Structure 1
Amino acid sequence: MQLLRKTIVFIGGIALLGSLAGCASAAPDRTGESPVTENTQTATPSEQLPDPRELTGLSEVAEVPPIEPIVKSPTPVLPVTVTGDDGVETTIDSADRIVTLDIYGTTSQTLIGLGLEDNIAGRTISDISPQIADVPVVSGDGHAVDVEAVLSVKPTLVFADTTLGPASAIDLLRNSGIDVVVLSPDRGADLIAEQIAAIAEATGIPDVGAKLIERTQTDLAAAQEYVASLAPRSGEPLRMVVLYVRGNAGVFFIFGKGSASVALIEDLGGEAIAANAGLGETVPATAESLVQIDPELILVMSDGLKSTGGLSGLLERPGVAQTTAGANERVVSVPDSQLISFGPNYPAALRALGDAIYRG
């Protein structure tokens, strides 16, 4: 799987990538156990499932349970010196108050998985995991970092990446004496372990990180095998596309080559038709471009679909009804936190997506 470099793109002050964060439903306390491997459901052989091309109508992906910490309240061994994705070396003395600054919410998901949810002192609007619902939001409109809001929560450590602007925010925080570790903005199933390891190392709990990686990798392999058993074993894969929509004005985009949607679609056994047609990372979803790629299935964020008037509103967008997916109303609505998460909850999100796509 190719390395997927994601950078935030703003149009008219609005971030193109919406809220991509943790999970949002309740779950029993099973610390250290995997909610994915606990699932006793076995995949129905694909020949017993309906032909996915014969399915029609809107499918809504189920919300997955919150991430279970691998341990509770681990004790960090600090100080530790790490080198961030920007090449800057940072010595971290305390992880008592952590602020997470990434548009996907993946950093906070990982910290929760490591058992450090009580150490999170500030989050972005993308971090919607129920465990940190009461933690102050330190991002402003359009997912921009509010430096004053970050400083107001008195962080001892900030995790950031390049998915949030402005670019000067990191320098301002460092000049204020805050330890800032820049993480990679790359996202993909094959990068989850690397991401967990980096965060665990910086918080002084690498052994806990190794346990979370082992659990997540086991869950991921099982989820990928499960989804593969759902996908048809013969014929061409479904042509899929991820669309980003907000409201009824100009915020309507196709995620193409270089976006994290490619890795997601590949894991779902589909064809990333926008990338294969040569469309760039984020391009306007015009009638011409949609008809050109002619997806058989459209993936959208639930909040985005709601904002544009639901399925009927989406179908009224230029070009949507003229695609095969539009004609069949074959749209899959995914909780915003699950569409392109690629954190410890990704295996569970992948299973839920597979069910919606292939079971209907």
Structure 2
Amino acid sequence: MSRSTRRPVFVSVALAAALALAGCGSGQSSSPERAGEQGVHGSTDQDGSNGAGTTAEADGQVPSVEAVEPQLPVTFTGDGGVEIEVTSLDRVLVLDDATMEIMQALGHADLIGITPDTSLIEDVAAQAEERITTAGRGSLTVEGVVALEPTLVIGTSMRRHAEVIAGLQAAGIPATLIDSSQEAPDKIRKTAELLGVPESGEQLAAQVQEQFNQAETTLAGIQERPRVMILSSSGAGDSGDTTAAGEETPAHQVIVGAGGLNTGAESGLDRYQSITAEGLVAAAPEVIVVAASEIDDLGGEEGIWEQVDGLSGTPAAATGSLVVMDDMQLKGGAVSAGLGILALQAQLHPGA
């Protein structure tokens, strides 16, 4: 199927407060790609129906460094404000994909002992000695984690993980929080410090920051900020509702870094929250962005416009402006974040 060569017309539309809010969540995956030249538009068939979207790709590789031996013990203060001492990395429980990606890039995926039973970087998660259920209310408990005998537990959600991490700390288990909402270079440095390889963390963070800086330089002098909405089939608990990304999400940072305006954040959405048909129309996004693992759940690249209630009434639908992105590049907020910014920027601002 051919893609149109014209750019969508970006117009500023005031956002009405018609978003229905509930729940939060995210999902992830990873692979480096090359940049396309076609822009964000997708295609529009002669009968006016929207065609397939565009896959965002970027020049470059996911950053990594050579592994060095961790220096223990480590005294570390997490984003929850509690100081812990790490004396062993023999059985590390990692609660999210972003941390796993960072550990892999540091050359220490072998330290990951326990992971969630579902992951979008399965090649890394599968190396763990044990897989556990972490999704769903009550599935992750202090007692259950203690029984696993981890030597370190790393959580990243200040909402979903905080209570368990606090309970583990009270039980004498080295456990800490590294807030997922902060920028990728900061998460990388903190994770590396926690693992006893701070210099490697500085090197890795510098590579990711260089990609951030490259995108910022490209945007110099560009005033246009396309109105973007990140749609997801996950989040909002088990409701099954379509959600949109607001602030406090790695996806928001990717949109802004790429030179877009996140209409979810503009509306005041917090993390990933349910959105109604009326909310979508009021938000008037000119570009829709979806993670590759979720596009089929939302109807596929051609069916999304009709399956997601309200989407057909947006400027994005009129031009078929759909961008499908690698999960970790869009939502991971870790080592692939810089590459994700460059990939999306190539679509929002082709030729810049």
Q: TM-score, normalized by length of structure 1?
A: 0.75
Match of 2:92 in 1: 98
Match of 2:28 in 1: 20
SS in structure 1 at match of 2:94: strand
In structure 2, C-alpha distance between the alignment counterparts of 1:139 and 1:63, rounded to whole Å: 34
In structure 2, C-alpha distance between the alignment counterparts of 1:83 and 1:77, rounded to whole Å: 16
Match of 2:341 in 1: 350
Tell me if structure 1 keeps the 8 A contact 2:40–2:322.
no
Q: Which residue identity lines up with residue 17 of structure 1 in the other structure? A: G
Relative to 1, partners in 2 of residues 1:60 and 1:132: Cα closer, same or farther, differing over 3 Å?
Answer: same
| 2:298 is equivalent to residue 305 of structure 1 | no
Once the two structures are overlaid, the 10-residue window that deviates more, 126-135 or 320-329, is 126-135
Cα distance, 1:257 vs structure 2: 4.3
Identity of aligned residues (%): 26
Query: Which one of the candidate residues 157, 165, 168 is aligned to 1:162?
Result: 157
Once the two structures are overlaid, the 10-residue window that deviates more, 79-88 or 137-146, is 137-146
| 2:201 is equivalent to residue 209 of structure 1 | yes
Match of 1:273 in 2: 263
Cα distance, 1:108 vs structure 2: 1.4
Cα distance, 1:245 vs structure 2: 2.0
What does 1:289-304 correspond to in 2, within 5 Å? 289-304=279-294
Relative to 1, partners in 2 of residues 1:238 and 1:330: Cα closer, same or farther, differing over 3 Å?
Answer: same
| 2:81 is equivalent to residue 81 of structure 1 | no
Tell me if structure 2 keeps the 8 A contact 1:244–1:253.
yes
Match of 2:177 in 1: 182
Cα distance, 1:290 vs structure 2: 1.0
What does 1:1-360 correspond to in 2, within 5 Å? 16-21=24-29, 23-24=30-31, 57=51, 58-62=53-57, 67=62, 69-72=64-67, 74-102=68-96, 105-124=97-116, 125-126=118-119, 128=121, 130-135=123-128, 136-142=130-136, 145=140, 150-151=145-146, 154-162=149-157, 165=160, 167-187=162-182, 191-226=183-218, 228=219, 236-246=224-234, 250-316=240-306, 317-358=308-349
Q: Deviations over 1:30-73 (max 9, x none)?
A: xxxxxx9xx8x8x9xxxxx777669654112349988454112x
Tell me if structure 1 keeps the 8 A contact 2:156–2:179.
yes
Relative to 1, partners in 2 of residues 1:308 and 1:142: Cα closer, same or farther, differing over 3 Å?
Answer: farther
Q: How many residue pairs are counted as aligned between the two chains?
A: 318
Once the two structures are overlaid, the 10-residue window that deviates more, 167-176 or 86-95, is 167-176
Cα distance, 1:311 vs structure 2: 3.1
Once the two structures are overlaid, the 10-residue window that deviates more, 194-203 or 52-61, is 52-61
SS in structure 2 at match of 1:158: strand
Tell me if structure 1 keeps the 8 A contact 2:85–2:174.
yes
In structure 2, C-alpha distance between the alignment counterparts of 1:127 and 1:178, rounded to whole Å: 27
Relative to 1, partners in 2 of residues 1:358 and 1:335: Cα closer, same or farther, differing over 3 Å?
Answer: same
Q: Which residue identity lines up with residue 324 of structure 2 in the other structure? A: S
Once the two structures are overlaid, the 10-residue window that deviates more, 302-311 or 173-182, is 173-182
In structure 1, C-alpha distance between the alignment counterparts of 2:161 and 2:310, rounded to whole Å: 34
Q: TM-score, normalized by length of structure 2?
A: 0.76
Q: Which residue identity lines up with residue 277 of structure 2 in the other structure? A: A
Tell me if structure 1 keeps the 8 A contact 2:102–2:334.
yes
Tell me if structure 2 keeps the 8 A contact 1:82–1:90.
yes
Structure 2 gaps, min length 5 = 1-20, 45-50
Once the two structures are overlaid, the 10-residue window that deviates more, 339-348 or 121-130, is 121-130
Q: Deviations over 1:254-282 (max 9, x none)?
A: 22344443322211111222333445544
Cα distance, 1:155 vs structure 2: 2.2
SS in structure 1 at match of 2:71: coil
In structure 2, C-alpha distance between the alignment counterparts of 1:153 and 1:67, rounded to whole Å: 32
Relative to 1, partners in 2 of residues 1:211 and 1:155: Cα closer, same or farther, differing over 3 Å?
Answer: same
Match of 2:8 in 1: none
Q: Deviations over 1:141-169 (max 9, x none)?
A: 34953657645654211111335636542
Cα distance, 1:119 vs structure 2: 0.7
In structure 2, C-alpha distance between the alignment counterparts of 1:63 and 1:154, rounded to whole Å: 41
Q: Which residue identity lines up with residue 111 of structure 2 in the other structure? A: N
Tell me if structure 1 keeps the 8 A contact 2:227–2:285.
yes
